Structure 1
Amino acid sequence: MNTPNALTQPDPAAPAPERADTPYRCPICRQPLMVSASPSGLRCLQHGLFPLVDGILSFMPAWDRAFDRHWEGNRDASPAPAKERAARRFLTPLRTEAGGPPLRVLDAGCGDGVHVAVLKDQGWQIFGLDIAPAALTNARRRVGDGWTPIHGDVSALPFADATFDAAFSFGVLAYTPDPWAGLAELVRVTRPGGWIGVWFYPRRNDLPGRLLAAVRSVVVRLPPFLQARAADLIVPFLSVLPTISGVSLANATWRQCREVVLVNIAPDTLAFFSPAEVEARMIGSGLVAITRDEGAPITLWGRVPDARPDDKAEESPAAEPE
């Protein structure tokens, strides 16, 4: 887990802070945060200030630049149509089956905002969290208003338990040091009966899968400008890589294709799993009613039980332990 940028000490001359009536919590200790007149942002009494930067609450260190470089380099690249179609397909269970009042939804790893854009017409309260400020800036410019961008880490979500009616992460958990810790965080911040959706890169032992592994073993060691040049060499062959979205020069621009290639070959960390492994982890996290999109692996949705095991324990303190 990255340590948030909460290094400032309380100012004795500043006005006394008041508790903020928000769903946010300190990602380190999970305690409620305080709001004060100056400086702008939210403060943990133990871990300091989480600032408001360009209108975006930041719960991450300013020096975390790995994915910021990626999105700065693709600032003007709108998502390819095939990427937008993949986003709509992934969100279909949530958009068609979730009912009731307007939902509060978390996109954990929102990137360029393609999923936020799909959900905006639902009339829901959408939070888009990403580790890269440049991704959030790009998404806000492209998608517009009507949602809340948050600078944070999916492995240490800055929200209270049971804050959301639904939470999902499309492909992003695979880039974290511990994908299952991120899944546990999604479950933690989702209310009983709420929805959890994940998309993972599939493990492939065929020729495209082996080619991707070989390319990654070389490209991850290169400086960013050489990674971009390597991506340009791969763009004409994108259709044979296991990207799942179907993006290629046949349906997207060169810039859009390069962005897809880079996100597959440049990051230091990228894990691959089988559908059975991911489903077993979701069940192990307590999720029920698991549904799969067999035509677009690995796409899984599940629901948080209406009564979690720890809730039952609180209701029946005299129950015998198993």
Structure 2
Amino acid sequence: MAIEGAGLEVVSQAAGWLLRGLAGLFLSPGSNASLWSLATAGCVAALILLARRPPGKKPVRLKVLLRTLFPRWILRHRSSRADLALLAFNGLIYGAIFGGATLSAAAVATVAGAGLTSLLGAHAPALPPPVGVGLLTLAVFLAAELAYWVDHWLKHRIPALWAFHKVHHTAEVLTPATAFRVHPVDTLVFANITALFIGLTEGLGRWLLGQPIDPLAVAGHNLIIVAFVFAVGHLQHSHLWIAFPGWWGRLFLSPAAHQLHHSADPRHFGSNFGSFLAVWDWMFGTLRAPTAQRERLTFGVEPRRPEQHGLTGVMLTPFVEAARLDAIPQGEPRLT
């Protein structure tokens, strides 16, 4: 009976862990798989499709609209199935295995703030707290975007890092789940670079403002980043061609711009490394703005192999390729 009781306790704890993980993954508004932001993205996409219809056309039936938003051939593609498997792993299991190897942005901020105070002394508060909170929120957002660009640029330049990042580029179709098509080593590098940039920014910001304030956040995520996720985040990995015109395309990366980044056409290599802002790509000369006219693109990494969508190709092959640096493209990210 004692053994049975212990077994039930283990099952109960496992079920609780799974339910908490699923709730955090799909119900937290700050999650990249949030049902709330996914629903918002679907509404935004539907409105864009309807707005593009020439005037005078018959109303679009809901069934046709849903087929356009969710093409069956994309949902059934083996690449999409691999995306969903990695969503489950990276969304539920990654933290339990690699969480201890990830820097804490809060800890970095504490150390940075204490170091600055020790070296240069404390600053007296010069701004009202609401203004300071707003400025710090914006500064952390810009730091997070810069961290994303730096991390992304390095992974397309350094052979060993490209070996792991290439997993993301083996996606042959793009869906919101493709955001989770990331090797754990790739995620670990990104998480530490981002924690370092955000932590240093928070520590410096609090020291300059002279106030122990925190940036505005939703479920632990920067408010501005969450707003972008709700607006366009999920559409960046999608089949819908949405380009931002004129100066908007120099400030913000549209879904079409990110599709160019995933393109298997060598003309598009080495461009659009940012997340939501196009500013860093613009400043560093890596911006390639898409046109309003849809470009015919293919995605994936050549040569295409079935194992790229399986456990071996996704999890194990990158370690082999990282060790064989001569087999990894140097310089520009030639996906061959």
TM-score with structure 2 setting the length? 0.27
Name the structure with the higher helix share.
2
Higher relative strand content: 1
Structure of higher CA gyration radius: 2
Q: TM-score, normalised by structure 1?
A: 0.28
